[in-house]
Amino acid sequence: MNNKAFQLVLLSIMLLAQSCTDSDLGGPDSSGRAIRFDVATSGITQSRSGGGLASVGPSLSLENGESTLYLTPKVSQGSVRELSRSVMVDSETISDMGVYAELSSSGAPYMVNVEVTRANLWTPAKEYLWPGNDALKFTAYSPYQTSVTTNSEGEPQIDWQTAADVADQQSLLWAEPTEASASPCALQFHNALTAIRFQAGSELSPCTIKSLTLSGIPSEGSLNITSGEWTNVGSAASFTIQPELTLSAASGSKFVAPGTMLTAENQTLLMIPGTLPSDAQLSLTLEIDGKEQTFTASMASAEWKAGTTVTYTLSAKPETSGLTLEVIGKLETEYPGQTAPFLVRSAMVTAEGDSTDIPWKAEFVDADGTPLGERPDWILTFPESGTGHDDLTTSTRLQDLTFIKLSAESQALQDAADINQSSGMTPYNLANSTGAPAIENTANCYIINAPGEYSLPVVYGNGIKAGADNQSAYTSISHNSMALKQFVNHLGNAITSPYIYENTGCEPSDAILLWEGRLDLIRNVALSTDGRQITFNVPASNIRQGNALIALRDKEGTIIWSWNIWITDYKPATDYITYTDSSGAVHHYYKRNVGRISGGDITQFPHCETYVKFTQTDVPDGMEPLSTTVPFTQTGITVETADYYNYYQWGRKDPIKSAVKEWFDASHHEIKTIQTIDLPTISSTENYIPTFIKNPDVFYTANHSQRFSYSNLWNSSLSTTDNVKTIYDPSPVGAKVPVDNGLVAIVHDTSLTKTFEPSTFGAAIMGLNIQLPSGDNLFLDELGYRSGASGTEATGIGEIGNIWLAQTPGSASTARTEARSIVVSRDQLLLNTNPRTHGFGIRPVIE
């Protein structure tokens, strides 16, 4: 196939890769990437402000022309199963919901009012898959409705009408907008309505409750399921309860026991929240001593808040003062562990408006209110008490990792012996074949096959070889005009010593973890006190396949150099592919691209939940202390990994995050996108290398007309048969980016059998299997590439694979925008030239 024909094939494949298929839009698929939800209790038990609330409001006068009763509202946060009414659902009783989703990057609709049920294990009846290169933003509501309208902003809303009969009233829930990229997606629901109850207060004489009527109450409104806000509230209506409930005097008293409910358990009203209109009214009909009496009270301006329960207490005497207890702010942290601020306001307010702080205490309880006795171990700090006006914080730790499923490759790492115990070296020096302190060979990438404590020397790339200064790695004797004669560091200065700290202006201050491809894979990255080595730990409990990038910084925080840590079961020193070309030259290639990781690992940092009960202490005599219970949650995360290998821009030493989304920063937060910066148009003589070194996690984009690089960045000699590895080469110790001679011979060898088939490694990603005369099989994964024009998405996974070579096309003395590459396109293997800004794989050849 000629180059023009290949370009047409490649274009077709790229267009196909970017097209939407039925599977992309949610069709049946067996890949295991189906969208699934988890309904969180915390969302149901919290208000929009996230805290708990208990307060006593001013008493309302109930008049009947002859006598007066008093109705005092007590407001509490609708919380931990304290409501007996079955329709006040929690995470155990929600049966269905409607779900909306859109692509995070573009806002394009992905799911529109899709019904999801508990019976189907919180997965849609029609399978929806996670999009390959994007996260989703979800909103949801419950119960499911077939008809959902939109507001003027195009946001979905529920047009709600309160049922006239209390027996027909239902809870209405909305979930906070949530962004996710893997199952299960946790949806935290909130009650959108206000629950209204009635109970006996002080000195209420025995009677029969005949009826309770709320009139002039708004019965219709529209709930925005994205924000939880109500609009278009109106259409006044009346709601009547007929308890026919006889209340007797408590034992040893002539009055009804305070707290006795005035209605049956299933007669809690569920109302649209808001400030009640001027004609709102309560009518209460009692039978006292055989005589019916009807009392009425205005409820104008009463405020009903969403997610709260208002309990009206009927008494013979008015409340002259009230207690308030409010917890403001969400007791919620994310899975990495963090600090969360919250406020507690506990007070007694007199009829004159004077306020006195009331002390409080806190205890941890379960969902039924039973004390736990101690703080859960995932909560590091929590205040046990306060004075009544308290600005506080609580903190949590990183959750313990749980393995749901492990690939064979990660299981091999789990089974590996601790490197420090097996070698007798602590830390184990990655630049020494036995882990001893002496520096033998260095590189920009180090392979790890076992857990333990490691170190690497502060040396530029392969600046040390066989224990000696490897000057050929950072100087060139080539007379070519586009050859870099003196390789430069982050300051743009010529490197004069392989030891970073011996170069002028290079003063290491600390070492950090920039990113890792598996959550909590590497810990305790630090620079030694003498500044000569970087140490870190790979914990045995968490070890599995993955990549990480460690950086060395100066006192200003500028990155001086960085190293790729590739944790894998692969041992290339003893497991490689042999190929002898037509000239008799023998080449030994890695079996995997640098950074190759198999899919199939499913790990989880579990969702944790408990409850905190706040109770007032030292209240005045004769007053009952208030209490409120609020949830405390730490969100979890489940990560299912995909197959990938590292992508590299030509001439750069650091890997760019690949096609998958599972990348995390040093604080364990997920990195959802890579940073891209347009490379400015510069002259062929301008040196942009220092910028690349100082920004190893940035993908630089450029159009094809820009020339920005030298020809020998991965091959200081510019030889096409036996290249010399440089300090910018991304390969591990003992390997290098290949030149034309070996792989190109395989490309042109028509006698070799080449088959497009699934990989036997990882998740059966498609690739090209080449049978070599040596009996070895060279399998080239088709795991796509990252475009140098945009850099934001991987292209052609399962269709295309690209491998960089260490040279540029044509004359090396001419400034070029391209570099040589091997392209695998289904069953085609081709030599090509591509823009250097593309992100391709590296298949090293052993030195």
pLDDT tens per residue across span 161-209: 999 999 999 999 999 899 998 888 989 888 899 999 999 987 899 999 9
Higher pLDDT pick, 224 / 319 = 224
Residue 707 confidence (pLDDT):
52
pLDDT, tens digit, 9 for 90 and up, residues 323-378: 888 888 889 999 889 999 999 999 987 655 678 899 999 999 998 889 999 999 99
The mean predicted confidence, pLDDT, of the chain is 86
Could you write out the DSSP letters of every residue in 699-730? EEE--TT-----S-TT-TT--SSSPPP-TT--
pLDDT at 80: 34
pLDDT at residue number 69? 92
| pLDDT for res 30 | 36
The predicted pLDDT at position 565 comes to 98
For 716-750, write each residue's pLDDT tens digit: 988 877 889 999 999 999 999 998 777 888 888 88
Length in residues, the chain: 847
Q: What's the confidence (pLDDT) of residue 796?
A: 83
The pLDDT value given to residue 328 = 85
Q: What is the pLDDT of residue 595?
A: 95
**Averaged pLDDT for residues 52-72:** 80
CATH topology of domain 320-397+606-634: Immunoglobulin-like (2.60.40)
Please tell me whether the peptide bond between 457 and the residue prior to it is cis, using omega within 30 degrees of 0: no
Q: Is the pLDDT of residue 554 over 80?
A: yes
Determine the average pLDDT of the residues in 259-287. Answer: 92
> Domain locations in the chain?
320-397+606-634, 409-599+641-846
**Hey, what's the torsion of the CAs at 675, 681, 683, 688, to 10 degrees?**
-10
Residue 32 and residue 640 in contact, taking contact as beta carbons nearer than 8 Å:
yes
Amino acid symbol at 150 = T
pLDDT digits (tens, 9 = 90+) for 225-268: 999 999 999 999 999 999 999 999 888 788 888 888 998 878 99
pLDDT digits (tens, 9 = 90+) for 386-445: 999 999 999 999 888 899 999 999 999 999 999 999 999 999 999 999 999 999 999 999
Task: Pick the closest to residue 533 from 635, 641, 439 (CA basis).
Answer: 439
What residue ranges in 201-248 does DSSP mark as E strands? Answer: 207-224, 230-241, 245-247
- Taking the C-alpha atoms of residue 671 and residue 697, their distance in angstroms, rounded to an integer, is 11
86: pLDDT strictly greater than 60: no
Sorting pLDDT into bands at 50, 70 and 90, what band is 129?
very high
**CA separation for the pair 281, 297 (Å, rounded):** 6
Digit-coded pLDDT (tens) for 198-222: 999 878 999 999 999 999 999 999 9
| Percent with pLDDT over 90 in the chain | 57
Task: Tell if the pTM clears 0.75, that is, is over it.
Answer: no
How far apart, in whole angstroms, are the C-alpha atoms of residue 577 and residue 587?
A: 8
Q: What does the block give as tokens for 568?
A: 């894998």
Task: Quote the pLDDT of residue 671.
Answer: 79
Q: What is the pLDDT of residues 470-508, one digit of tens each?
A: 999 999 988 787 889 999 999 999 999 999 999 999 999
Residue 41's pLDDT is what? 47
pLDDT average, residue stretch 604-612: 92
Q: List strand residue ranges (DSSP E) for 118-191, in order.
A: 123-124, 136-142, 149-150, 156-161, 173-180, 185-191
Q: In the predicted model, what is the mean pLDDT of residues 742-761?
A: 86
What span, in angstroms and rounded, lies between the C-alpha atoms of 77 and 55?
A: 10
When pLDDT is averaged across residues 140-149 and rounded to a whole number, the result is 94
The two tokens of residue 438 are 């002496």
Tokens standing for residue 559: 């990155």
Q: Which residues of 450-478 are buried (b: 16+ CB within 10 A; e: fewer)?
A: bbbbbbbbbbbbbbbbeeeebeebbbbeb
How far is residue 800's CA from residue 504's CA, in Å, rounded to a whole number? 44
The pLDDT confidence band at residue 761, using thresholds 50, 70 and 90, is confident
- For range 673-702, the mean pLDDT: 79
Bridge partner list, 286: 209, 293
According to the model, what pLDDT value does residue 510 have? 98
629, 648 contact by CB (below 8 A): no
Per-residue confidence at 814, pLDDT binned at 50, 70, 90? low
Residue 186 · residue 38 · CB < 8 Å: yes
Where b means 16+ CB within 10 Å and e means fewer, 629-648 reads: bbbbbbbbbbbbbbbbbbbb
Render pLDDT for 827-842 as a digit per residue (tens, 0 to 9).
889 999 999 999 999 9
Question: 460: closest CA among 447, 449, 470?
Answer: 470
Which is nearest to 827 in space by CA: 13, 4, 11, 3? 13
